Chains A and B, each alone.
Chain A
Amino acid sequence: MHVRLLDLGTVPYLESQTIYHAVAHAMDDDTPNTISLLSPDRPYICIGYHQELEKEIDLEYCLSQRLPVLRREVGGGAVYLDGGQLFVHLIFHRENLPRRVEEMYKVLIGPLVETYRALGIDAYHRPLNDILVGDRKIGGTGIAAVGQAMVVVGSLMFDFDSETMARALNVSSEKMRDKIYQSLRDYMTTMKRELGRRPPREKVKSILIRKLREALEVELEPGHLTYKESKTVEALNRRFLSPRWLRLKGGLPRRGILIRGGVRVAEAEHKAPGGLIRVTARLQEDVIEDLTLSGDCTFHPQHLLEGLEVALRERHLDGAELTAAIDAFYRSHGVQSPGLSPGDLAAAVLRLRDSPAP
C-alpha cells in the first residue's frame, strides 16, 4: 500500500486551508490516501466550522492588521496560524482510518510526537487530542469527515505568536485578554522555546516523513494535485472568501477560551446589591489557578483585594469551599464591602463554571 505525499512547501495562506479540503471533497474511489505538508505564506486566523465569526474574532483589529480570517470545516476554536507552523493533513478514505475519533487522533499524533522526540523534545500525547511537553501544549489537531474522506489535521510548531493570537480574539475585557496572553505563554510551547532555536525546517520535515512512514507502515510516494483537485481548490478559494461562508451561523458553546485540554480562561459577572463584581480567571479543570477581581463595588481596604485573589488560588469551584475561604479572609483582615457579601463573591466566582465565551 502506498500513500501520496504532497510536499508543498509554502503556499498562499488561503490554499493552506483549501488544498486539503479540496483533496477531500474531490476524493473518489481512485484517489489515493494522501498526506499534505505545507505552511502558509502569511499569518491568518482560522475559526472552527461551528463557530460564529463576530463572536470569536476582533474583526476591527484583524482588519487594521491586514490579518485575514478563514473558516475551516474542521472543529475546534479560533487559532492563529502562520509560517512558524508546519501543517500536516491526513486525507484518507474513511475505511482506512479507525472508526473512533479517539483512535483516529492517534494515527497522526503518534508520528508528530515521535518527530518531536527525535529532535530531543520530550513530547507526549494527552488524550483526547493534545500534544504536550510537560504541561505545555505544542501544536493542535482536529478531524473532519468531508465527502468520502476523513481528514485529520495537525501541526508541528516551530514558533508561535501568542500576542497576536490573544489580540485577535473577541473578548469582553482587556483583563481577559491579558490573562489569555499570559496563559498562552504559560501553557504553550514551541520547538524554538524547547530547543533554544528553530531547528532547520527540512530536517524536521524529513524526520516527520520517516515517522509517518514507520507508523503507518506505508510507502509515501511524492505526488501532485490532479486536475480535478486543482479545480476544486479554485472553487474552494472562492467559497472560503465568500461572506456567506465566513458568516455561517454556529453556536459551539465555549466555557471561556480553551488554552489546552483542561486549561481555560473564563470571565463571569455577578450583580450584587453593592454593584457589579467581575471575575477573570484561569482554571485547570475546576481549580482556580489565577484570578482577578474587578467591578464597581466598594472593597475596603482596597489594597487587600489582591490578597483575596491570592487566597482564592488553588480553590475548587465549589460553593462551600469558596464561601469559607472568602469568609475567613474577611474575618482575618477586617474587610468591609457594603452590599457585597462573601456569598456574592462566591456566587461570582462560581459563575465561571458555566461562563459562555466572552
Chain B
Amino acid sequence: MAQAKEFNLPDDLYYDRKEHIWARLEQDGVRAGVDAFGACAAGTVAYVKLSPVGRHVQKGRAFGSMEAGKYVGPLKAPVSGTIAAVNQEVLGNPGLLNVDHYERGWLVVISPSNLRGDIADLVHGPDVQPWLETDVAEYEQKGMLKKEEERQCT
C-alpha cells in the first residue's frame, strides 16, 4: 500500500497519473474507479453518469462523468476496450466514491482490446509510492492542498 498524507493507494493497482483513475486487472477484464486522491480533490460526489455495457471506450477518453459541488469532470478510461459491467450500486449511491474507493466504489469493468500497450504508461507496484509522494508534494508546494489538519478526506 502506497501512502502519502491521508491518501492510501494500493500498489497492486494501476493508476493513470493525471486523472487519478485506478485499474485492477481481473480475469474478466479491467475494473476501474477513482483513487483516494482524485475523490478527495473532487469533494463529495453527488452524481455519476456511466456509459452503458457494450459501449466501446478509448484509453484517455471519457467513459462517464461525475459531479461534485457544481464541479463536473470526465471519467477517463485507463484502457481501451468494451464496457463489460457497470456498477449499479455506485449510480444509486455515488458517495461510495468518497468512502470505499477500491471496492464498492468501482465504476466499470472494461474488456480490454490492447491491454499490454495500454497499461504500459500506468503507474504500478513500487512506482506508486514515489509518484504519489511527488504528486502530493507538488500540490502542497503550490499551496493547492489544505493543511492536513484541515482536511476532511479519509
B126 CB, min distance to chain A CBs, angstroms: 24
B60 CB, min distance to chain A CBs, angstroms: 12
Whether B74 sits at the interface, judged by CB under 8 Å, is yes
Do A50 and B41 touch across chains, with their CB atoms under 8 A apart?
no
- Which B residues touch A102, using CB under 8 A? 43, 69, 146
Do B41 and A99 touch across chains, with their CB atoms under 8 A apart?
yes
Within B14-68, the residues touching A (CB, 8 Å) are 40-43, 46-47, 49, 65, 67-68
Whether A199 sits at the interface, judged by CB under 8 Å, is no
Whether A143 sits at the interface, judged by CB under 8 Å, is yes
Kindly state the separation between the CA atoms of A72 and B65 in the bound complex, as whole angstroms: 14
Inter-chain residue pair count (beta carbon < 8 A): 80
The B interface is mostly helix, strand or loop, or mixed, namely mixed
- Which A residues touch B73, using CB under 8 A? 144-145
- Which A residues touch B142, using CB under 8 A? 98
Whether A103 sits at the interface, judged by CB under 8 Å, is yes
Given A99-B145, A102-B43, do A74 and B65 touch, yes or no (CB 8 Å)?
no
Do A100 and B144 touch across chains, with their CB atoms under 8 A apart?
yes
- Which B residues touch A76, using CB under 8 A? 70
Partner of B43, one of A98, A101, A144, A145: A101
Kindly state the separation between the CA atoms of A145 and B64 in the bound complex, as whole angstroms: 13
Do A143 and B46 touch across chains, with their CB atoms under 8 A apart?
no
By the criterion of a CB under 8 Å from any partner CB, how many residues of chain B are at the interface? Answer: 22
Kindly state the separation between the CA atoms of A250 and B68 in the bound complex, as whole angstroms: 14
Do A101 and B72 touch across chains, with their CB atoms under 8 A apart?
no
Whether A128 sits at the interface, judged by CB under 8 Å, is yes
Do B49 and A250 touch across chains, with their CB atoms under 8 A apart?
yes
A47 CB, min distance to chain B CBs, angstroms: 12
- Which A residues touch B67, using CB under 8 A? 48-50, 75, 252
Given A98-B139, A98-B144, A252-B47, do A74 and B72 touch, yes or no (CB 8 Å)?
yes
Which partner residue on chain A sits nearest B19 by CB separation?
A145
Within A98-134, the residues touching B (CB, 8 Å) are 98-105, 128-129
Do B42 and A101 touch across chains, with their CB atoms under 8 A apart?
yes
- Which A residues touch B74, using CB under 8 A? 145
Partner of A144, one of B47, B49, B72: B72
Kindly state the separation between the CA atoms of A251 and B47 in the bound complex, as whole angstroms: 8
Do A75 and B71 touch across chains, with their CB atoms under 8 A apart?
yes
Kindly state the separation between the CA atoms of A142 and B43 in the bound complex, as whole angstroms: 13
Do A100 and B41 touch across chains, with their CB atoms under 8 A apart?
yes
- Which B residues touch A100, using CB under 8 A? 40-41, 43, 144-146
What residues make up the interface of B, taking CB atoms closer than 8 Å to A? 40-43, 46-47, 49, 65, 67-74, 139, 142-146
What residues make up the interface of A, taking CB atoms closer than 8 Å to B? 48-50, 73-76, 97-105, 128-129, 141-145, 250-253
Report 26 cross-chain contacts, Cβ distance below 8 Å, ordered by A residue. Answer: A48-B72, A49-B65, A50-B72, A75-B67, A75-B68, A97-B144, A98-B142, A99-B145, A100-B40, A100-B146, A101-B43, A101-B68, A102-B69, A102-B146, A103-B145, A103-B146, A105-B69, A128-B43, A142-B72, A143-B70, A143-B71, A144-B71, A145-B72, A250-B47, A251-B49, A253-B46
